[in-house]
Structure formats: C-alpha cells, structure tokens
C-alpha cells in the first residue's frame, strides 16, 4: 500500500480570502515503510507574507520572491502523489488549500475521504489529550528538537513517525532494512510502484557476540547431550 505523508505552509488560514501555499513537503511510505522518496518545494505566493504567518514558518518575501508559482509545480506534485492515500495532520486545512490551487488550474479536486487525518486518529486514541504534532512527538518519544519553526518537509518526516506509532507502533526495521532512494526532484514525475519491497542490507551487520560468550554457549550446549536443538542440521 502506497501512502504519502504531507504538509503545507501557507500565508494564512483561508485561500478564499487571498491566502496561498508557500511550501509543500511530502514523503512516500510503502507498506508503512519509508522509501526515501520525497517531494519538497517552496512556492512564490504572489503576495506579501503577513507577519503572523512569518513567525510560524520563517518564510519571508525576499526568500520566496524567486521561487516558482504553484502553476509551475502543480503537475510534478500531482505526479508524485499519484492515487496514494494522503496522511495529513489537520487534513481539512491542507486539503482546502491544495484543492483551491488545483481547482484554479483545472485539475480534479481531491475528495476529503482520500486523506487520513492524524489529528482525528490521535483524538480517538487519546481522548482529552493534546493532539498537536509536538504533543504527539513528546508522547511517543520522537525527537523534534530541530523543529524551532514549522517546515513542511520536516513536519512530514515527524508526522510519518507519529503516524506509525498511532496505527500500532513503528516497524522493527523502520528505515533500516533498505537503502533510501534518492529524493525525488520536483521537476520529474515519480511513478508509483506498488511492488516496491525493501532490499536486503548490502553489508551484513557485524556479530556482537564476544569470543567468551561464544565459548560459554558452546560449553552449555555440550552439556545438553546429543539431542540438543543447536546440534540439529
């Protein structure tokens, strides 16, 4: 199953009153494991940045002035997400902005039930407890010390870990059993690959057992007699 964990940063709260997306960050999960494929782009909103929004994400007019407008990155974004389920924290907010921008360009709007809202999942699982991304990172012991400001890709990476905890715990080999693929360029389409599987570790881990431990084990097995399990072929 292919899923896209996604986050956006914007100039405010409502695209209908002139607010726009200024950053999109997303990463791909296949069968609840990260593939290493990401999508990340800053966007020129073609308007000034309100001070309140700047305090949240730190993306100002000077930084965004030479970035592409949404129309220039829309097809790359649509190609990256494909038909995957979207995993979003407070999904109604991001979906509202994405559908506004996609709709202006003639793209099909994404139905709300395509997105899994991790805020709602957290509230059902921990009723009455804070459900912010920072609060969930603290609950699950996820290091978010680098999150001094909101950032779409960093928040997507944190959300991916939170999401896996919310649905039952991170896989034992989360992020370790496969070499991460190169990040996806925002000017290239990325085909969905439903057959993706983690590759074997290219270099086996070195054994951690000491010579003394190996000798002690050998002596222990010898004392069990010829029927010991470890002596069977």
137 touches 162 (CB < 8 A): yes
Torsion of Cα atoms, 131 then 32 then 2 then 27, to 10°: 60
The whole-angstrom separation of Cα 211 and Cα 144 is: 40
State the DSSP code for 231: G
CA distances for 196 relative to 33, 34, 71, 191, 209, angstroms: 10, 11, 30, 11, 33
Q: Which two tokens stand for residue 117?
A: 């809202």
Helical segments of the chain, H only: 51-57, 61-64, 70-81, 91-104, 118-125, 133-140, 152-166, 211-222
Q: Which two tokens stand for residue 69?
A: 């407008």
The whole-angstrom separation of Cα 154 and Cα 85 is: 20
Place of tokens 């494991």: 33
If DSSP codes are grouped into helix, strand and coil, which group holds residue 102?
helix
Cite the active site residues: 150
């Amino acid at each position: 199953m292919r899923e896209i964990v996604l986050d956006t940063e914007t100039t405010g709260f409502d695209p209908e009153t002139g607010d726009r997306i200024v950053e999109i960050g997303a990463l791909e999960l296949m069968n609840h494991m990260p593939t290493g494929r990401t999508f990340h782009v800053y966007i020129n909103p073609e308007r000034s940045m309100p001070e309140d929004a700047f305090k949240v994400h730190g993306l100002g007019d000077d930084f965004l002035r030479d970035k592409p407008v949404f129309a220039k990155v829309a097809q790359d974004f649509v190609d990256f997400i494909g038909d995957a389920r979207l995993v979003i924290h407070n999904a109604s907010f991001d979906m509202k902005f994405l559908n506004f921008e996609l709709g202006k360009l003639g793209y099909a709007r994404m139905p709300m039930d395509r997105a899994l809202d991790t805020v709602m999942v957290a509230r059902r699982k921990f009723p009455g407890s804070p459900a912010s991304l920072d609060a969930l990172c603290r609950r699950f012991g996820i290091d978010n010390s680098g999150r001094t400001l909101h950032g779409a890709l960093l928040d997507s990476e944190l959300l991916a870990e939170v999401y896996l905890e919310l649905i039952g715990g991170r896989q034992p080999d989360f992020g370790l059993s496969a070499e991460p693929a190169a990040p996806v360029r925002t000017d290239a389409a990325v085909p969905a690959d439903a057959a993706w599987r983690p590759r074997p570790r290219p270099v086996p881990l070195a054994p951690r057992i000491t010579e003394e431990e190996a000798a002690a084990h050998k002596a222990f097995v010898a004392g069990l007699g010829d029927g010991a399990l470890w002596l069977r072929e």
